[in-house]
Structure 1
Amino acid sequence: MTERTSTLPGRLTERMSGAVSQVAAAGALIVIFVALSVVAPSFLSLDNLFNLASQTSVNAVMAVGVTLVIITAGIDLSVGSVAALSGVIGVMLMAQYGFNPLVGIVGGIAVGALAGLVNGLLVSVVGLPPFIATLGMLSVGRGLVLIVTGAVAVFGAPASFRLLGQGVIGAVPIPVLLIVLVAVLGHLVLTRTRLGRYAYVMGSNMEAARLSGVPVRKYTTAVYVLSGALAGLGGMIAASRINSGQPNFGEGLELDVIAAVVIGGASLFGGRGTVLGSLIGAFLVAVIRNGAVQLNIGTFYQNVLIGVIIWLAVWWDHYQRRKLGADAG
């Protein structure tokens, strides 16, 4: 009883640290949004806000999957290339093989899930570090995209495919509805299922989880499959926005997705993270990118800024963990 009780302050402090990170990210999002509304009047135009929502949907959907992985103390560096491969294959199913858009979308998601399965097996069964396993998939996925397309964009998908990334229901863009749907399902997975509970346990202490009887291999594989599937969905949304499969899509996208998750309070050391925090991070990154375009700030400078934000977020997490360890000691 004493041992269990003594861990409660530490757990509370860790949760508070994650909450503080989320509040800070939300505050930064509000401040930047208001500032851009003042200095860039076109930022609040309906066309730009619709474009911002569509852009955010890709990163936000993928961030939910990466959140699951990072909670287990893993990493998925392959989401950008997996999204590109999924988008290309999905469009090819429609354009070259005559399948309807629904089959093409499901096919693209299945390609992402398959890539995630390979990542999960490499980590859980083969024993490769997540960094190495997913770095390899990043290269494999990008290579396969170029092989199947000949480095040429794939066109010819039916016009109805555009609805996924450009359609609206009432006044609400379908991509925004997809964000809500994926976020709700992701939250339920983390808070109401065995997979979510075990993900936090494995991220906090993998060996303790194994000794406690958690089927670590099964659930580690599962989180990578989900990450891959959501990367596939993100790739299909992106392909729908331009009604084509682009082999160069997603280059460097993993940077924005991981940044969103870390900015939102998830810990790269595992055991902490929420869907809400990752969504806040995704919107923050998207607003920064979009605002930079409105202010004619080049992509190179945007990448520098996002990199610095990642440094600060990881430093904050490391600082909080050291402080927590000192308090526990």
Structure 2
Amino acid sequence: MNKKMLMKFKSIIGLVIFSLIISFLSPRFLTVSNILNVLRQTSINAIIAAGMTFVILTGGIDLSVGSVLAFCGAVSAYFISAGVNVFLAVMASLIIGALVGLFSGVMISKGKVQPFIATLVTMTVLRGATLVFTNGMPITLGSDKGAEFFSKIGGGYFLGIPIPVYLMTLVFIIAYYILTQTRLGRYVYALGGNEEASKLSGLNVSKIKLSVYAISGMLAAAAGIIITSRLSSANPNAGVGYELDAIAAVVLGGTSLAGGAGSILGTIIGALIIGILNNALNLLNVSSYYQMIAKGIVIAIAVLSDRKDK
């Protein structure tokens, strides 16, 4: 029983132990300003990872989230710089992100293309589309009232806490509710557990896959909006490698890459581990080259631990 409890809460235990080690190595780690900085930086990856959790729970994968982030961030910047209403600009970007996710979902559910290949195609096409759309140059927001209001989404504070942290919290509350309290959530787990059995039981497998990829695309777009808002510009090369960080957060949180097992609460823990790792390596002045190696080792340990549990 003790071993089962240990395995159930291994992500939280790992996060606590890791945080304690870093606090001893760097006195600046537990300062309020640094903790808020970690949460703000983690929010981007966490929001993307929330959508990735839905996909991985079905046994799929989404490699296109970084490109969706870049494209939708560029779209939102273009609309804001053109004087479009902030609400309309945000909604348009979110809808575009969902439609891109649907495109991947159609290739997977209707075209019977493997998720890895389908989302690789989407990633490549959309990265090129972003470069075409932006002419390979950043799009700045401008300095009018609309741009100033938009910039608060990613760069503003409320009660001393960065607004992206509130947005991250809202995303995870909604995702938790969907996965634990709705039929879609139950169907997602059922599909990941056994796709053939799900078909035989009458579940609309295609519809479920379309839904999860649309959710992933929309949340990647939301992350793109936040980054664009914070930087007051959209970089066509934004989001490169973000899909790997999102997958890492999901896996570190205990969600199985085979699908059918995991939780959205584990994902937020995994995202925090990735965020704290990046922050700790920066505080300790570790070269960015070694940071990639360290991140890879942590992911490898998480995957091996997942396989050992089975």
Partner of 1:53: 39
Residue 268 (1) aligns with residue 257 (2): yes
1:1-329 pair list within 5 angstroms: 20=6, 23-95=9-81, 97-157=82-142, 158-321=147-310
Compare 250-259 and 36-45 and name the one that shifted more: 36-45
Counterpart contact for 2:36–2:161, Cα < 8 Å: no
- TM-score norm. by structure 2 comes to 0.93
Counterpart contact for 1:21–1:263, Cα < 8 Å: no
Superposed displacement of residue 46, structure 1: 4.1
Partner of 1:326: none
Partner of 1:325: none
Superposed displacement of residue 236, structure 1: 0.8
Q: 1:247 to 1:47 in 2, by over 3 A?
A: farther
Deviations 1:287-328 (A, max 9, x none): 10111111111222222222222222222222222xxxxxxx
Q: Structure 2 unaligned segments of length 5 or more: list them.
A: none
Amino acid corresponding to residue 110 of structure 2 in structure 1? V
Counterpart contact for 1:88–1:145, Cα < 8 Å: yes
Counterpart contact for 1:22–1:280, Cα < 8 Å: no
CA distance in 2, matches of 1:123, 1:113: 15
RMSD: 1.7
CA distance in 2, matches of 1:88, 1:51: 24
Superposed displacement of residue 21, structure 1: 5.0
CA distance in 2, matches of 1:193, 1:107: 26
Q: How many residues align?
A: 305
Deviations 1:57-107 (A, max 9, x none): 111111111000000000111111111111111111111x21122222222
CA distance in 2, matches of 1:298, 1:139: 29
Amino acid corresponding to residue 286 of structure 1 in structure 2? G
Counterpart contact for 1:60–1:282, Cα < 8 Å: yes
CA distance in 1, matches of 2:63, 2:135: 24
Q: Structure 1 unaligned segments of length 5 or more: list them.
A: 1-12, 322-329
Superposed displacement of residue 264, structure 1: 0.2
Counterpart contact for 1:22–1:277, Cα < 8 Å: no
CA distance in 2, matches of 1:98, 1:307: 43
Counterpart contact for 1:256–1:285, Cα < 8 Å: yes
Q: 1:143 to 1:131 in 2, by over 3 A?
A: same
Amino acid corresponding to residue 42 of structure 1 in structure 2? R
- TM-score norm. by structure 1 comes to 0.88
Q: Sequence identity of aligned pairs in percent?
A: 40
